[in-house]
Structure 1
Amino acid sequence: MDFYKITTDETLRETVQHGSDHYPFAYYPENIWEFDFHRIDWHWHHELEFLYVAEGSVLCLAGTSKIELPKGCGIFINSGIIHRFEVQGSTFTPNIVFSPTLLAPENSLIYEKYIIPVINSSVPYQVLRPYNRWENQILQLLTHIFSLQEAKETNELGTMQLLLQLWNILFENKDWKSDPDSIHRLNHKQAGLQTMMQYIHDHYMEEITLEMIAASASISKSGALHIFQSNIHCSPVAYLIQYRLAQAAEQLYTTQKSVFSIAEENGFTSSSYFCRKFRQHYHMSPNEYRKKKLTHCISHPV
């Protein structure tokens, strides 16, 4: 089994290009179980995303919500919304990610009338359920789009036709009126979250307190707690520990450093505390993780 890991910058914006400049559309026939630690971790992108649960079930965290997506359901993730997917077993979750400009050029009538109201709305996502008529129509169109991508010869024109049909149904059946105050609050919150995350990413090897994290965004401790909880459902200190663990996990299989050295270099006060937190978060010891990853690399050489 290959293990995949999503790559993001310091603001959690996904760094991979979806498609190309000439055709900003990408299809991903993914099994989330095959990602490191069985999750596609927190990220956001300017592109629009549609995901369908063909097999298994998925927990999606989007905006301030936790959404259970059983087999047969799907979800639309709006532009700029921070989200995460995690699973408890093998899945098949085909999804498409594409730029809003694929549907129409910016400054065109179509873009201004039918695209901007959606991406500027305060709606972070839309769950797609097979027992709702218009939502099921979108799910059916998605399966047709997936089939086109899996065909031997690509069919960009056919894909575009289906995307426009899908978008028309989504646009006509949802109230996309924007709430400027809500958008401002969302933008302000996400900017504060990203500022604090960047501070953590820059200083995680040092001793950091909640006060220091909050001060980096010029807000109170309670404000920092609220922004983290409402956006990624954990406290700033919990996120700091998770980030330290993620950096340590990478060092476990990319270096030959001792567990003690890795713990110390990643801001942990002792190796025993590091090992306890690692096991709590990843359900295995650091040495078990290192052995698992090294065995995988040997059996799947590049």
Structure 2
Amino acid sequence: MENTASAMASMEKLDHSNQAFPVSEFIDEYDASSGGIYPSHWHREMELQIILAGSARYTVNGETYVVKEGNALYIAPNAIHQSNSLEPGTVGYNLVILPVLFTRILKNIHCEQYSLPLTMLQPSAFLITADSKTGFSILETMRRMYYTENSNHAYELFLLQNLLGIWRSLLALFPKPASNAADSPKLLKENRMRNMLEYIHENFFQPVTISQIAASANISRSECFRCFSDMSHITPMEYLNQYRMFEATRQLTTTNKPITDICYAVGFNSTSYFSKEFKKIYQMTPREYRESKKI
């Protein structure tokens, strides 16, 4: 399988190997038998994912999209999104692109109007299917990109040519952007959610309360619950637990730390409770999970 990389690399802060050409490719190998959940996060890049096998559910800024095999999803820069596999063996091919790649080129040729969806962040997501010729063309292009070896001659030019073609096609499919005032209720809620997620990501390893999460966005506890319900369809504490478990799986597969140490490192103060909650999500104990990931 070409262009493989850890799915963890698609979380929040991406390290593009070539800053002058800020495009990265990843393979997301979902594993439904062990959860297959990627908690809510965001990043400054736009993202395109085509599902090569299986199917996945995405929640983007509170809207749900089911992406079936052969279909793809566009996610705007800074959109808060999460995903989970819907069946065993789900695999996706991801492209993450800093908007400056397009905006720089379009500015140089005085075509800035074609970068409006990136600067207005609308739409926040768009499902790409083969129902139209344009959608079919995008999907075929993404499949061709997946199967092309990145060692090929002038590979960056190959990527750029195809990405510009995809963007042109997406512009034809995108709905007309609505008003996007900086103080709109939706944008305000998204900004609050980003602040709260950032607080959790930076403090998950220690005791965290609803009041602390709410305070990070300068809102009440009740508004905190509303934000999480609208944007992620779970409670703040459910998200905290989900993120702790996600971090636990990372440490179980990338370190040799004792399971007890991992339990405390991700914010739990009881190994028995940690194991119980872990098994509830992943259908196996932490030890069994670690063993299942060994090659």
In 2: Cα distance, 1:142 partner to 1:180 partner:
30
Q: Is the 8 A contact 2:263 2:271 kept in 1?
A: yes
In 2: Cα distance, 1:82 partner to 1:43 partner:
5
Match of 1:72 in 2: 70
Task: Supply the AA of the counterpart residue of 2:213.
Answer: I
Shift of 1:114: 0.4
Higher Cα Rg, which structure = 1
Q: Is the 8 A contact 1:4 1:34 kept in 2?
A: no
Q: Which runs of 5+ in 1 are unaligned?
A: none
CA RMSD of aligned residues (A): 3.3
Shift of 1:249: 4.6
User: Identical aligned pairs, as a percentage?
Assistant: 25
Q: Is the 8 A contact 1:45 1:81 kept in 2?
A: yes
Match of 2:273 in 1: 273
Task: Supply the AA of the counterpart residue of 1:64.
Answer: G
Match of 2:61 in 1: 63
Match of 1:14 in 2: 12
Match of 1:170 in 2: 170
Task: Summarize the Cα distance change of 1:209–1:20 in structure 2 as closer, same or farther, 3 Å threshold.
Answer: same
Q: Is the 8 A contact 1:45 1:80 kept in 2?
A: yes
Q: What is the number of equivalent residue pairs in this alignment?
A: 289
Match of 2:94 in 1: 95
**Which protein has greater RCO, CA pairs closer than 8 Å, 6+ apart?**
2
In 2: Cα distance, 1:185 partner to 1:249 partner:
36
Match of 1:113 in 2: 113
Task: Supply the AA of the counterpart residue of 1:220.
Answer: S
Q: Which moved further from structure 2: 219-228 or 174-183?
A: 174-183
Q: Is the 8 A contact 1:263 1:270 kept in 2?
A: yes
Task: Summarize the Cα distance change of 1:256–1:173 in structure 2 as closer, same or farther, 3 Å threshold.
Answer: closer
Shift of 1:257: 4.3
Shift of 1:128: 0.8
Q: How does 1:146-295 map to 2 (within 5 A)?
A: 146-149=146-149, 152-181=152-181, 184-249=184-249, 254=255, 257=258, 259=260, 263=263, 266-268=266-268, 270-293=270-293
Match of 2:6 in 1: 4
Q: How does 1:121-136 map to 2 (within 5 A)?
A: 121-136=121-136
In 2: Cα distance, 1:17 partner to 1:56 partner:
28
In 2: Cα distance, 1:58 partner to 1:78 partner:
18
Q: Is the 8 A contact 1:40 1:86 kept in 2?
A: yes
In 2: Cα distance, 1:50 partner to 1:243 partner:
23
**In the TM superposition, what whole-angstrom CA distance separates every residue of 1:164-214 from its partner, at most 9, and x where no partner exists?**
232222213323434223774444223322322333344445443322321
Task: Summarize the Cα distance change of 1:183–1:138 in structure 2 as closer, same or farther, 3 Å threshold.
Answer: farther
In 2: Cα distance, 1:205 partner to 1:144 partner:
42
In 2: Cα distance, 1:266 partner to 1:138 partner:
40
Task: Summarize the Cα distance change of 1:245–1:176 in structure 2 as closer, same or farther, 3 Å threshold.
Answer: same
Task: Summarize the Cα distance change of 1:247–1:133 in structure 2 as closer, same or farther, 3 Å threshold.
Answer: closer
Match of 2:29 in 1: 31
Task: Summarize the Cα distance change of 1:223–1:155 in structure 2 as closer, same or farther, 3 Å threshold.
Answer: same
Match of 1:48 in 2: 46
SS of the aligned residue for 2:8 comes to coil
Q: Is the 8 A contact 1:78 1:119 kept in 2?
A: no
